[in-house]
Amino acid sequence: CDADILPICLGTHGQPLDVGRTQRLVTTAIWLALIARDRHCTFPGCTRPPVMCHAHHITHWANGGPTSLNNLVMLCGHHHRTIHDTTWQVRLAADGRPEFRPPPRRPHHPPPEQWIRQRPRAGP
């Protein structure tokens, strides 16, 4: 049986207020779309191939982040740990490409305002 339980929160009048999530890990279709979009680890300066990478939730699954292409970036194991273990930040820019912001250089100072991304892609 491949059944999933999908919780639905209902309001006082029986109206659906929220639908739960059933999928934390990426599907094959999402992974292939992530490969097509990101091509390799998206951390600035890294070009490790997809076979060495993971799908990283920008908004963590435990914090309500969906397992969808607009909430995922491809990161190699090293940079995946870097994102989780430090204060590096990642987001998707308006064009859908990942951008990263490094942690502050000194404690108790805000991080730099500049977001960093990979160099532009050369052709398809």
Is position 3 within any domain? Answer: no
β-pair type (89-92, 98-101): antiparallel
Instruction: Quote the number of domains for the chain.
Output: 1
Q: What is the CATH number of the domain that holds 76?
A: 1.10.30
Contact, 92 vs 58, CB < 8 A?
yes
How deeply is 113 buried, as exposed, middle or buried, from its count of CB atoms within 10 A (0-12, 13-18, 19+)?
A: exposed
Residue 4's pLDDT is 53
Q: How far is it, in rounded angstroms, from Cα 80 to Cα 86?
A: 10
Domain that holds residue 63: 21-101
Do strands 89-92 and 72-76 pair parallel, antiparallel, or not at all (unpaired)?
Answer: unpaired
14, part of any domain: no
Task: State the pLDDT confidence band at 90, using cuts at 50, 70 and 90.
Answer: very high
Report yes or no on 26 lying in a domain: yes
Looking at residue 26, what is its pLDDT? Answer: 86
Q: Is residue 46 part of a domain?
A: yes
**11 domain-assigned:** no
Answer whether residue 120 is part of any domain.
no
Evaluate whether residue 96 is within a structural domain: yes
pLDDT band at 55 (very low <50, low <70, confident <90, very high): very high
CB neighbour burial string for 14-37, b if at least 16 within 10 angstroms, e if fewer:
eeeeeeeeeeeebeeebbeebbeb
Is residue 84 domain-resident? yes
